[in-house]
Amino acid sequence: MKRYYIGVDWGDRLHQVYVADEEGKKVKEVKVPETVGGLTEIGRWLDENRAKGIELWAAIEKPAGRIVDFLLDHGVEVYPVNPKAVDRVRDRYRMSDSKSDAFDAYVSADFLRTDHAHLRALRPSSEKAQELKLLSRDQRRVVNHKTRLLNQLTITLKDITRGRWKRLKMLRRKLPWIFSLATPPRPIWQCLNVKNSTALRLKSIT
């Protein structure tokens, strides 16, 4: 059975993908944005090649995450690789000290092609595990959204408070007589003719 080796240099918003055949020749090289459109396009390509009877193996420096689940859902056999192992392998191919996502994806694909006997493939989770994973992901999304809203609210309240203090200081400079009329009342302990310890403590505090 024919097989393609896929190297994925993953990112938060963009994934670099390199595909090689069994002889190491390039089949495909593409940037995949972490969007519905980007994932749908590469997913279609994966399904089309699997329909042709081509095995798809992928190497990625990540044992879990959305991109890993995506590959597994499309029938790709995923091999997580240790970043340190990939760093050592880079010396086989490096022509200079330059580093790029495209180069890393290529190294991962060829490393999988030549050294897959030393790697262990991930197994798709059970239906219950997948459902739990989705629920956990939704919970994290809600928590992150709540955190963003609280941060925005805090910033907004600080801006409002800061603006009010500025206006208050400006008013005090322009109309100081208004503030002279607003003299604070005497402390309550002065209004009461008591000499117990509570009143004395209150006086010492004030």
Domain range for 14 is 3-124
Q: Would residue 163 count as lying in a domain?
A: no
pLDDT at 171 over 50: yes
Higher pLDDT, 178 or 5: 5
pLDDT class of 63 with cuts at 50, 70, 90:
confident
pLDDT computed for residue 202 by the predictor: 46
The better pLDDT of the pair 111, 176 is held by 111
Query: Does 94 fall in a domain?
Result: yes
Q: Residue 84 and residue 30: Cα distance in Å, rounded?
A: 24
Quick check: is 136 in a domain? no
Is the pTM of the predicted complex or chain greater than 0.75?
no
> Does the residue 195 lie in any domain?
no
Q: What confidence tier does 85 reach under pLDDT thresholds 50, 70, 90?
A: confident
The pLDDT, as a whole number, for residue 188 is 46
Angstrom distance (rounded) from CA 7 to CA 71: 12
Question: Does residue 53 come out as left (phi exceeding 0), alpha (psi in the -120 to 50 range) or beta?
Answer: left
Q: Is residue 11 part of a domain?
A: yes
A 10 A CB-CB count for 12 gives 7
Mean pLDDT highest for which of 91-95, 98-102, 116-120, 169-173? 116-120
What pLDDT does residue 79 have?
Answer: 93
- The yes-or-no verdict on residue 25 having pLDDT over 60 is yes
Strands (E), the chain: 3-9, 14-20, 26-33, 55-60, 77-80
* Residue 132 predicted with pLDDT over 70: no
Q: Is the pLDDT of residue 117 over 90?
A: no
Query: Lowest mean pLDDT: which of 17-31, 39-53, 98-112, 156-170?
Result: 156-170
Number of domains in the chain: 1
Amino acid 203: pLDDT? 47
Helix (H) or strand (E) run with residue 175 in it: none
- According to the per-residue pLDDT averaged within each range, which of 120-134, 151-165, 190-204 is highest? 151-165
If you ran DSSP here, which 8-state letter would residue 74 be given? T
Tell which wins on pLDDT, 75 or 165: 75
**Torsion from C-alpha of 22, 26, 31, 35, nearest 10 degrees:** -40
Q: What is the CATH number of the domain that holds 45?
A: 3.30.420.10
- Is residue 36 a part of any domain in this protein? yes
Find the distance separating the first CA and the last CA of the chain, reported in whole Å. Answer: 87
At 154 the pLDDT is: 79
Whether 201 maps to a domain, the answer reads: no
Reading the block at residue 196, the tokens are 């117990």
pLDDT band (50, 70, 90) for residue 127? low
